[in-house]
Structure 1
C-alpha cells in the first residue's frame, strides 16, 4: 500500500489539474472579454493618435479611469486641430486643470448613443422619435461666491428646480445638438442655427458650434463622435444676465424674486470636500416667475424632459426698461421721470404693486424654446406671443438652460396694453381691478385679439356702494354683495366682437354688455337702464370725461356709474303708456288688465323670470287697432279695443298676443343678433312659438312671424325702441306679430 500511494496521489492530482484546466477554459469562454469587443473610449482615442490634447484634458480632469472602464457614455471628442484653434482663439498656451475638467465633463453625456438615436427623447415610456436636441452632461457647477439680498458675501449654489432646490440633483448642464431629424420635426433650419452660431457651417450634424466629422465609433463603454471644435460649458441665463451691465435694470427686478435659503445637506458636503466651515445657501427664484433662470433642468415632468425643452428669456436693455417705465409709472411717479431715477421708482412700485412688476417680468419669460423663425407663434408665461421681432434683438445667446435675446424694446404686455391695462395700472380703479381678477373677468379683456370697451369704476364710487378690497381675507378679499357687484362690473365690460370702437364723441348707438344687458351712448354721454330711472333729467345720462384707446378697444371714463334697474319691466312700459297718445298705451292697457299675465301689486309679468333676458316688441296703437280688427284681440261693439274682457276666450286671446310679442333674448339694433328666437307663447305640447330676426343693423331691425310676415322695428328719433329695462330691451314695431296654433 505504501509503495502505491504516491502513484495514486500523482494520478489524482493529474486528474484534478486536467479538470481545473477544463473548468477555467469554460469560465473564460463564458465570462471572459470577447476578442471582438471594441476597446474602451480612452484607448480608442489613444490609438487614433489625433486626440492627444483631449486625452491630456481627460488625465488632468481625472477621468482616464472612467473612460477606460465599463460604463455607457456618449463622448464628443475634439481633435488636436480643434484644440489648436481653441488655444489660438483664446490666447492660451496650455489648459489648466479646471478648464480641462470643464471641457471633458461637458463633452460627456449619459448613455452611449449612436447618432440615429440622439434626436430621440428617452422617456419613461420609451423613445419619442425626433423630439430631442439636448443631452445631460457630466458637467455641473457647484458652490460659488455670491452675496445675499443685503450684499453680504456668502457661499451659493444654484436652484435646480423652478422655485426650489433639491439636494439630490446636481443641476447638470445640457449639451445642445442640431441634427437633421430634429430640425425637420421642429420646422427649423440653418437660419435658426446660424442665428446663434454665425461662424459655423450648418451640416445637419452639429453640436453647439461644432460639426460632427466622424460619427458612431462604438466603444466598450459607449459611443464616440468626433467634432471639429472644443466645447466649453455655456453660462446659464442667470449667470449671463448677471455678468452683463446692459441688463442691470431688468436684473434688479429679477433680484426681487430671489431668496437665499440655508441648505444643510450641501453645507455638509461642501465642508467635507473643502475643509472649510462656510454654510451654503441655495439661490431660489420665486415660483411666481415663469422659470428659475439658474435652473439647468427643465420642467421635470419627465426625468429627461430637458432633452426636448429649454427656456427663453427676452431681456430688455436698460434703455428699453427706462422707456417702458414711463408706462408702468404713469400713475405712480411723484414727479416727471428724470434720467437715472427710474430704477428706484420701479423698486418703489414693486413695494406698492408687486403684481405690476411680476407681470412685466413674466411677459419676457417663455417656458419653451422660441426659435428665431417662430417669434410670433409661441406664448409667453403670461400666454401671449411676443410683440417683438428679430429686428429688436441686439444680443443673442444659446445658453446652457435657455435661449437668450437681449432686446431694445420691452414687451408691451397685454396686462398693460389692453383695456384691462388702464384699470390695472391706475390706482384710482384698484378695487375694480382686484374684483375683476377675483371674479374671473380678467382673461378676456386682456386678450389682445378680443375687442372690448371698459367703463372704469373709481374706488370712491365702489366704496360708496358698499364694496372694498381687503387682502387680509385671501379667500374672499372683495367685501360686499358679490351678486350685485358682478352685475355692476359686467355692465361696465362691453365686448365689441369684430366691430370698431364706437364714435362716442359725436355718434349714438346701443351696446350689449358682457352680461347681456345694454347701455346706450349719444354724443358724448352714456346711460343705462338704472340711470334712466333717475328723476332729474340731468342725472339720466352720464357725461363722458375722456376716451383712451388700447390695443383691443378703449377705456371710456365717465363721471358716474352705469347703474342697473331694479324696476319690473312693466314699469318701463307704463312710462310710455300714460296717455292715449303715448306709444305703448294700447299694449299696456291690454297687459295691465290681464289678470292671467299681470300682477298689479308687483308689476310682474308672468313668464318673465328674474335673471333672464328678454325683448318686448310693442305694436303701435294703430297696429293694435289693426289686430283688434283682425280678431286677434277682443273688441267692443263699436270695433275699438276691449281692454277689460271678461270672456275666457277673449282673455286667452290677450295672453297669447302679448306672450308672442316677448322673446327669450335681448335684441337691439346693434348689428349683432339674428335668427330664430323662442317666445313666451307655448302650444298645448309645451313647444314655444318662435319669431325670427331677419335683419339687424344699426339702422334696421326686421322681424318675421310664423305666417312669414315681416314687421319693422321703428328706429326713428321720435320712436320708442331700444328702450332699456330690467335685463330687457323694449321696441316699438309698425305692425303686430301673428301666431298660429
Structure 2
C-alpha cells in the first residue's frame, strides 16, 4: 500500500466516524418528542385512555380505507362515535353487529365523521373570516370528507349518470369542487351570536340541547389532541344527511311541490327550471367514467339561477368559508295544502300547471326559499328574495323540521302567504287578460304587493287598453304605441296606471263607494268616486265616468281590486283653462284673465309649470264681492292703475299653493292646528308668503272639513260641494273669503 492509498484509507475511516456521530445527533434532534400524542387512529386504538371504546368505529375506518389516512400526517377534526353509540345504532337499524354494515355504508359513516382541518370545540364556534376577524363570526357547519359523487337519475324515462350542481344557476359548475357535504353542530357561541334559544335547536332533534352537539349527537368528550388533529367523542352514529333536493325526492307527501320546483309537467326541451348538461364539462366524464365504470357521459343537474338557490348545491352562495356560517332554508307545503292553493289561487285562470307562465312558477318557488338558515325564532326577522318574512306559525303550521346537509327544511300545512298571490297585485299578476297592466306594473310590483301598504286598483284589461288605442308588442320595433304612434305612448300608460292605483289608509277604506269622496293615487294626483263610479280629470272632461262591477271586486290582504267598465283618463288642458271653464270660479277667472301673470296666447300662468302639483284656493264670487266692498281688492279686474294691478297680482298669487295637492280627507296634515304651506307670492325682499291649511278641522274623522288661515289670521272655510275640482296635477277648492297677505 503506497502512501497515497494509506492517506485515502485514513480519510475514509475518519469520515465514517464523523458521519456516524452526525447521525446520532440528527436522530436525537429530530426524534419524536416525549409526550406527543400519536395520530388519530393510534390514539383511538392503542392509548390506555380509549383502547376498547372505539372498536366499531375503527373497524369501519379499516373497511373504508382510512386507516392509513388517520395514521399519517394531516389535519383533521374527527367526530368519533364510541362503541355505545354503535350499539344503539345497531338496535335502531335492526343490525346484529358491525358486520351487517355494508362497505358503502362504512365509507359514508367514516368520511362524514371527518372534517377538513383541526378544530377544537371552541374554534368550531367561529368561521374563518380572515386574520383577526374570527371573534366577530359564528359558525354551525363544517365541510366533511364525504361527497355524493355520481348517481343514477331517471330523466324523462332515460337513466342518466348525474352529479349535483355545486353552484347556483346553470353552467356554473366548479370542476375543482366535489360538492362535499357539511355536518352541522351547535355550540353556545353560535347561539349567542345569532340570539337563538335552545328551543330553536331542540325542535329539530329528539333530545335536549346540551351546549355541545353534532347533528343529533351529544359531544361526550371533546378536544382530544392527536398528532394529526382533534378528536371529539359523540354518543350517536351520524350518517350523511340528504340535501334538500334528495329529501324532497324521497318524501311523497311533498311530491306536488317538487313537481313545481322541477317543472315535471314540462317536456325536457321546455323545462326552464332544471337542466341536465353533459357537454359543458367533459372533464367530469373523463374523471368519473373509470371510477364508476360508466359507459355514457356524466350530466350536471342544475337549477335555474332565477331560484334563490339550487336545492342540490351543498355549498352556500358562491362557496368558500361563509358556508360554515349559513345555509339554505326551504318551506315545502304538503300535497293537501298545496292542492288547496292551486285550486283556489294559482290555477284560477290557467286550469293546469302546464299553462302557468314560468315567471309565476319561479316566484311561487322563491317565496318558499330563504338564503339563510332560518331558525324558528327568526321567522319574522329574515326575508326571502321577494322581501317576505316567513309567515308561518312554528307551532301550528309546521308539520316537520329537518336539518339537512345543505340547509333547513320545514314541511308545512299551508302555503307561504306570498305578496304576489294575496295582495292587490295578484289580479293582474295571475289573470292573463291583464298582462299589459302587469307589464306596466313591473316598476311598482314591490310597492303594490307590500302588505304593509294599502291600495285599491282600478284594473285595466288588455281589451280596454286596445280599444283605447294602445298596443303592446314586445317583439316590435316600437313596443308601445298609441293610435299607431310610439310618441308618448308608454308615458301616457304609466300616468294612467298611476291614476288607477289608489292609496288607502286601511284595506277596507273603499269598501263602500256608493257615497262620494276624493282619493289620492300613487302618482300624487287625485281622483274621485260618487254613486259607485270613479272619475279622474279626463273622465270629467269627456263625461265618461267609470262604472264598477262590484260583484267582481277582489278583496286582498292590502286592499281591493275593482273590475271596471272603463279607464281613468287625465285632462290635457292646462290649469288656466280649468279655472276659466269652471262656473263657480267665474269672478276669480275674470281677475286672472286680465292680470299680468296670465298669457292668453300660451294659456300659461306665471309661476305655474306643466306637470307641477298645485292646490288652488279660489274665493267664491260672494267672497270676492265682499273683499271689493271692504276695499281689500280692486273692483275692476281690467284696471289700468299700476298699484291696483299689483294688488290683483298679489291677490292671485297668494291663492296658489305650489308643490302640494291638499284635499279635505284628514290625510297628509298631522297637526291638530294645520300646517304652513308656501304660496306663489313673495315680498320684494324674497320672503315667501304662506298660509296655514287644516284639512281635518273637525277632528281626524269623517266628514272632513278644511280651513285656510291667512297671514292676518283670517280663517277661510272650504266649501266642500263646490270644491275638489280635478285638474292636471292639481286640485281646486272654493273658499268663503279672500285670503289677505298683509
Query: Paired residue for 2:672?
Result: none
Q: 1:175-210 CA deviation, whole Å, 9 max, x = no partner?
A: 100111111211222212221112x23101000010
User: Where in structure 2 are the equivalents of 1:49-128 lying within 5 Å?
Assistant: 49=51, 50-93=53-96, 94-124=100-130, 126-128=133-135
Which residue of the partner structure matches residue 165 of structure 1? 173
- Pairing partner for 2:518 from 481, 501, 510: 510
Distance 1:24-1:455 versus aligned 2 partners, 3 A rule: same
> Following the alignment from structure 2 to structure 1, what is the Cα–Cα distance between the partners of residues 570 and 478?
28
1:701 matched to which residue of 2? 706
Task: Measure how far apart 1:387 and its partner are.
Answer: 2.0
2:663 to 648, 660, 668: 668
| Residue 186 of structure 2, aligned match among 158, 178, 190 | 178
Tell me the residue number matched to 2:541.
533
SS in 2 for 1:395: strand
Give the gaps of 5 or more residues in structure 2: 264-272, 670-674
Conserved 8 A contact 1:123-1:303: no
Matching residue of 2:149: 142
User: Is 2:528 aligned against 1:520?
Assistant: yes
Bigger shift: 74-83 or 644-653? 644-653
Deviates further, 153-162 or 88-97: 88-97
The equivalent of 1:210 in structure 2 is 217
Task: Give yes or no for contact 2:537–2:726 (8 Å, CA) kept in 1.
Answer: yes
| Closer, same or farther: CA 544–670 of 1 in aligned 2, 3 Å | farther
TM-score relative to the length of structure 1: 0.91
Identify the residue that residue 259 of structure 1 maps to in structure 2.
275
Aligned mates of 1:122, 1:473 — CA distance in 2: 53
Give the counterpart of 1:444 among 438, 443, 447. Answer: 447
Once the 2 structures are TM-superposed, how far is the Cα of residue 512 of structure 1 from its aligned partner? Answer: 0.8
Cα deviation code 1:416-454 (max 9, x no counterpart): 1000011211122110011111xx111110011111111
TM-score after normalising by structure 2? 0.91
SS at match of 1:584: helix
Alignment match, 2:437: 432
The verdict on how the C-alpha distance between 1:319 and 1:622 changes in structure 2, with shifts beyond 3 A counting, is same
Cα deviation code 1:665-717 (max 9, x no counterpart): 111111113322221112234442222213435521122222233222112xx
Decide whether aligned partners of structure 1 residues 503 and 324 sit closer, same or farther in structure 2, where only a CA change above 3 A counts: closer
Equivalent position SS for 2:553: strand
Q: Equivalent residue for 1:341?
A: none
User: Which of 724, 728, 733 is residue 735 of structure 2 equivalent to?
Assistant: 733
Q: CA 1:478 to 1:320, structure 2 compared with 1: closer, same or farther past 3 Å?
A: farther
- 1:247 equivalent to 2:254? Answer yes
In the other structure, the counterpart of 2:291 is 273
Q: How does 1:334-353 map to 2 (within 5 A)?
A: 345-349=352-356, 353=357
Cα displacement (A) at 1:739: 1.1
Task: Please state whether the residue corresponding to 1:121 is helix, strand or coil.
Answer: coil
SS of the residue corresponding to residue 381 of structure 1 reads coil
State the secondary structure of the residue aligned to 2:203.
helix
Kindly indicate whether residue 199 of structure 2 is the aligned counterpart of residue 191 of structure 1.
yes
Partner SS state of residue 411, structure 2: strand
| Partner-residue secondary structure (3-state), 2:316 | coil
Contact 1:253 1:347 in 2 (8 A): no
Secondary structure at the counterpart of residue 735 of structure 1: coil
Map residues 301-340 of structure 1 onto 2, 5 A cutoff. 303-329=320-346, 331-333=348-350
Quote the residue 1:492 is aligned against: 500
Q: Which residue of 1 aligns with 2:301?
A: 283
1:598 — aligned with what?
598
State which drifts further: 498-507 or 307-316. 498-507
SS in 1 for 2:599: coil
Counterpart residue number, 2:367 = 363
Partners of 2:481 and 2:41 in 1: CA distance: 68
Partner of 2:683: 683
Could you report, residue by residue, the CA deviation over 1:86-124 in whole angstroms, capped at 9, with x for unpaired residues?
111111232221111101100000110111110101124
**Secondary structure in 2 aligned to 1:54?**
helix
Describe the superposition over 1:354-397 as per-residue Cα deviations: whole angstroms up to 9, x where unpaired. 22222111111111111122223221232101222221222221
1:213 deviates by 0.7
Structure 1 residues 296, 465: closer, same or farther in 2, change over 3 A? Answer: same
Question: Which of 392, 398, 401 is equivalent to 1:396?
Answer: 401
Q: 1:152 aligns with which of 150, 154, 158?
A: 158
1:133 touches 1:176 (CA, 8 Å); kept in 2? yes
SS at match of 2:722: coil
Preserved contact between residue 331 and residue 427 of structure 1 (Cα < 8 Å): no
Q: Which moved more, 1:388-397 or 1:660-669?
A: 388-397
Residue by residue over 1:514-567, the C-alpha shift from the partner in whole angstroms, topping out at 9 and shown as x without a partner, is 1111011123111111111125xxx34544544321001111222111111111
- SS of residue in 2 equivalent to 1:123: coil
Task: After TM superposition, give the deviation of residue 409 of structure 1 in Å.
Answer: 1.2
Residues 208 and 231 in structure 1, CA contact (< 8 A), matched pair in contact too: yes
Q: Post-superposition shift, 1:279?
A: 0.7
The answer to whether the 8 Å contact 1:79/1:228 transfers is: yes
Choose 383-392 or 252-261, whichever is displaced more: 383-392
How far apart, CA to CA, are the structure 1 residues paired with 2:602 and 2:687? 28
CA contact (8 A) 2:516 2:528 kept: yes
Determine the C-alpha separation between the residues in 2 that align with 1:234 and 1:219: 27
Give the equivalent residue in structure 2 for 1:580: none
| Per-residue deviation, residues 598-641 of structure 1 (Å, max 9, x unmatched) | 2223432221111110011011222212322444322xxxxxx2
Secondary structure in 2 aligned to 1:419? Answer: coil
Summarize the Cα distance change of 1:589–1:384 in structure 2 as closer, same or farther, 3 Å threshold: same
Q: 1:468, 1:592 → 2: CA distance?
A: 40
**Range moving further from structure 2, 383-392 or 597-606:** 597-606
What SS class does the counterpart of residue 232 from structure 2 fall into?
A: strand
